[in-house]
């Protein structure tokens, strides 16, 4: 069986993750396997940091891609760490700070359905987060869903070709019990994740830990493990004081990311979307038919499958109860429902429904027998 799993082991247990590493972070470990050895557990070059079953040797890097976001800096001799079972690197960070892990992984499609390794499943209550490859070649994370259920949840629809190299990166934020998972430099946003680390809205790239350590002393990264039959390279572990320090783009909330739209770089990163090549007409990846700009100003996420439209209407006496998809609309915007007696909406009256969270608003029908209604987003000063 061929499979790839990256386990992040902490003082409280183990978890399978990876994270973006930025220059502002303090380095704990950087390993490019420049020294050739047959056994990491006994060779002096690695035994002080690494344990387990694995060997360092020149590897096949013909698929070691060089597209945006990867690879990290690599030594010229082409050595990799071949894992045969499980390897663990001790890399303890400062408690409560944001830990980041970055590595190149040779992703391999398994023959058997994805499950926790038997050696880890026996202590499942301590596993915080894990990433694995399903039999269809797609990545999944072992975490907690928005509904509070632990299990394996999709990290996207991309099918990875067996034995190809990819950069797997994680920002691990213990203060909120979530981590941002990225593959090849792009955050993996799905409906199982959250738009922000504090978890206020689903449909992003921050994933909730399956188990969050209770003690402050345990809220730190202590080691990184890889389980399965695969190869890894360029392993980097760092820590930062805050998530925005680890990922400066998260602090770039006011800078437009592309011409012709209102979307910020921060929003795109949290949605798992690169700002390279996108514009105001770029469609959201959830097949909703809405543009990224439309999703942003409506307060939706890029992967929530919502459309900005009136969903239903019912009469209540002389009023109409208009229903629509509620959302966390960005600051500076408001919802407006317009009513008119003609489909061109000439002479329409407008009702400000900013702050409506129930997804409905009661609008006066007036004395006419027929009314037309529509919803739009407007700025606060309109």
For the segment 264-319, what is each residue's pLDDT rounded down to a tens digit? 776 776 676 766 677 778 888 888 888 888 888 888 878 777 888 877 888 777 77
Phi and psi of 269, rounded to 5°? -60, -45
Query: What confidence score (pLDDT) does residue 259 get?
Result: 58
Residue 7 has pLDDT above 60, yes or no: no
Residue 282 half-sphere exposure toward CB, CA atoms < 13 A: 22
H-assigned helices in 263-381: 265-271, 292-298
- Phi, psi (rounded to 5 degrees) for 115: -155, 165
What pLDDT digit, counting tens, does each position of 318-368 carry?
777 888 877 777 777 888 888 888 888 888 888 777 655 567 777 777 666
pLDDT value of position 24 = 47
> Does the pLDDT of residue 122 top 60, yes or no?
no
pLDDT at 21: 34
Q: What is the average pLDDT score of the chain?
A: 74
What tens digit of pLDDT does each residue of 228-250 get?
788 888 888 888 776 666 655 54
Cis peptide before 71 (omega within 30 of 0): yes
Structure tokens at 83: 């894992």
Residue with tokens 């002096």: 44
Q: ∠ at Cα 332 (343, 272), nearest 5°? A: 95
Q: Do residues 318 and 365 lie in contact, with contact meaning Cβ atoms separated by under 8 Å? A: yes
The residue ranges of every structural domain in the chain are 3-246, 252-286, 310-379
User: Measured between alpha carbons, how far is 6 from 120 in angstroms, rounded to an integer?
Assistant: 12
Classify burial at 228, counting beta carbons within 10 Å of its beta carbon; exposed 0-12, middle 13-18, buried 19 or more: buried
Distance CA 79, CA 104 (A): 12
Q: What is the pLDDT of residue 299?
A: 81
Structure tokens at 333: 């915007």
Between 74 and 51, the more confident residue is: 51
Architecture of domain 3-246: Sandwich (2.60)
């Amino acid at each position: 069986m061929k499979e790839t799993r990256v386990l992040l082991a902490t003082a409280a247990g183990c978890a399978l993750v990876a994270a973006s590493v930025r220059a502002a972070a303090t380095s704990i470990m950087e390993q490019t396997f420049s020294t050739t050895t047959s056994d990491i557990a006994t060779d002096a070059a690695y035994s002080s940091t690494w344990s387990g079953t694995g060997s360092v040797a020149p590897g096949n890097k013909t698929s070691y891609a060089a597209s945006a976001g990867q690879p990290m800096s690599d030594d010229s001799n082409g050595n990799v760490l071949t894992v045969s079972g499980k390897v663990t690197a001790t890399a303890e960070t400062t408690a409560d700070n944001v830990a980041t892990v970055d590595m190149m992984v040779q992703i391999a499609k398994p023959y058997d359905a994805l499950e926790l390794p038997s050696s880890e499943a026996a202590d499942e209550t301590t596993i915080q987060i894990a990433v694995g490859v399903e039999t269809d070649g797609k990545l999944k994370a072992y975490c907690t869903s928005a509904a509070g259920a632990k299990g394996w949840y999709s990290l996207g629809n991309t099918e990875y070709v067996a034995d190809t190299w990819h950069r797997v990166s994680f920002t691990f934020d213990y203060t909120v019990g979530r981590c941002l998972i990225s593959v090849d430099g792009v955050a993996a946003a799905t409906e199982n994740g959250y738009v922000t680390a504090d978890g206020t809205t689903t449909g992003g790239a921050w994933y909730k830990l399956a188990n969050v350590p209770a003690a402050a002393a345990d809220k730190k990264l202590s080691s990184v493990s890889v389980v399965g039959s695969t190869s890894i390279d360029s392993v980097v572990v760092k820590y930062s004081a805050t998530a925005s320090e680890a990922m400066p783009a998260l602090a770039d909330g006011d800078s437009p990311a592309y011409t012709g739209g209102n979307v910020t770089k921060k929003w795109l990163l949290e949605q798992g979307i690169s700002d390279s090549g996108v514009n105001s007409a770029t469609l959201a990846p959830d097949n909703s038919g809405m543009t990224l700009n439309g999703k942003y100003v409506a307060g939706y996420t890029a992967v929530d499958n919502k459309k900005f439209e009136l969903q239903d209407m019912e009469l209540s006496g002389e009023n109409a109860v208009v229903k629509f998809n509620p959302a966390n609309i960005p600051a500076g915007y408001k919802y407006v429902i317009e009513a008119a007696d003609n489909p061109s909406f000439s002479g329409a009256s407008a009702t400000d429904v900013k702050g409506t969270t129930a997804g409905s608003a009661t609008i006066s029908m007036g004395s006419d027998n027929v009314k037309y209604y529509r919803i739009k987003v407007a700025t606060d000063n309109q």
